[in-house]
Amino acid sequence: MEQKLKELQAEALQKIEQAEELKALNDIRVAFLGKKGPITEVLRGMGQLSAEERPKMGALANEVREAISEKIETKQKALEAAAVEKQLASETIDITLPGRPVKVGNHHPLTKVIEEIEDLFIGMGYKVAEGPEVEKDYYNFEALNLPKGHPARDMQDSFYITEELLLRTHTSPVQARTMEKHEGKGPVKIICPGKVYRRDNDDATHSHQFMQIEGLVVDENITMGDLKGTLQVFAKKMFGEDREIRLRPSFFPFTEPSVEMDITCKICGGEGCNVCKGTGWIEILGAGMVHPNVLEMAGFDSKKYTGFAFGMGPERIAMLKYGIDDIRHFYTNDIRFLKQFAVTE
């Protein structure tokens, strides 16, 4: 029996050595180590052995099994490695070939301008606030000193959804919402970018849906000087150090006094040309000191607190900055237009 086991081991090891494929190796495993294999067969005859010989044979049989298993495992690893080698050799990549360029998209010009404005104000300590686009009449108008039936509501033609709900016509309702949250305690220092909607007829400078960025500062001792200084920094950073600003008296129900801000025309430098209609100035935003009624309605003591607010249209700012002549370019998604802003910064 001992002889038989040794012969089986030698035969198996030789076959394993000669195996060239994983399948052949598996066949050998089944043939020699399987339940119906010759080693099992030999072990079945152990009953006829003497009690002394039986453990010796058992141990030998285990040694033989182990030797065969080990050899199979080593060979399997070698065959697998060879298979990988072969595959790699057949799939060699020519690293000298030029790569296929990856098409990189770019930010929409409007997104760029909005992010630039956000960064600028964040740098001055402002927080970014947001509010709903479907807004309550209360926040869009009433809390901003525009009670129902007020004639100044006609300044902004609105899309009403129900009597009390509308698509917000400006970002100023975020002012009212934010102040309300502060429960009468300053300081408040926010900007709110977002979409707004008006029943305006679309033309080169008007869109029925556009963006606005609102700014609001409320604290003790805030003055018109703070407003002017802030807007000056904004204009110079946005359009260039050589640009000047001026504030013109205007009217908004939620600010008193109210102003509109002009900057010197980039084209003529203030001399007067057809872009600025000969005035040397271009209007870019509305602003003013927060009306005491608005402060009081939001829970602030208007004797203690004052504030300023401003609201601008980033489309108009982007048009001025990049010399774009029609607001509709922002919304028609013409790739030829959008590609012009693919500058790597």
Question: Was 256 annotated as part of a binding site?
Answer: yes
> Which CB, 158 or 172, lies closer to ligand FA5?
172
Helices in the chain by DSSP H: which ranges? 2-18, 22-33, 38-44, 53-90, 109-123, 137-140, 172-181, 224-239, 292-297, 314-322, 335-339
CA dihedral 17, 21, 24, 29 (to 10 degrees): 60
Produce one character per residue of 168-191: b if its CB has 16 or more CB atoms within 10 Å, e if not.
bbbbbbbbbbbbeebeeebebbbb
Residue 329 Cβ, how far from ligand FA5 at the closest point, in Å?
13
Selection from 163, 178, 168 nearest residue 141 by Cα: 168
Residue 283 Cβ, how far from ligand FA5 at the closest point, in Å?
7
Residue 203 Cβ, how far from ligand FA5 at the closest point, in Å?
9
Classify 132 as helix, strand or coil.
Answer: coil
Residue 102 Cβ, how far from ligand FA5 at the closest point, in Å?
35
Helix crossing, 224-239 with 314-322: angle to 10°?
40
> Which CB, 121 or 252, lies closer to ligand FA5?
252
Sign, Cα dihedral of 235, 238, 244, 245: negative
Residue 341 Cβ, how far from ligand FA5 at the closest point, in Å?
19
> Which CB, 65 or 316, lies closer to ligand FA5?
316
Name the token pair of 214: 């609102």
Residues that bind ligand FA5 in the complex, under the rule CB under 6 A: 170, 172, 198, 200, 206-207, 210, 212, 214, 252, 255, 285-288, 309-313, 315-316, 327
Residue 284 Cβ, how far from ligand FA5 at the closest point, in Å?
6
Selection from 266, 306, 263 nearest residue 288 by Cα: 306
CB-CB contact of 120 with 317 (8 Å): no
Name the token pair of 334: 């013409």
> Which CB, 32 or 252, lies closer to ligand FA5?
252
Binding residues: 256
Binding residues for Mg(2+): 256
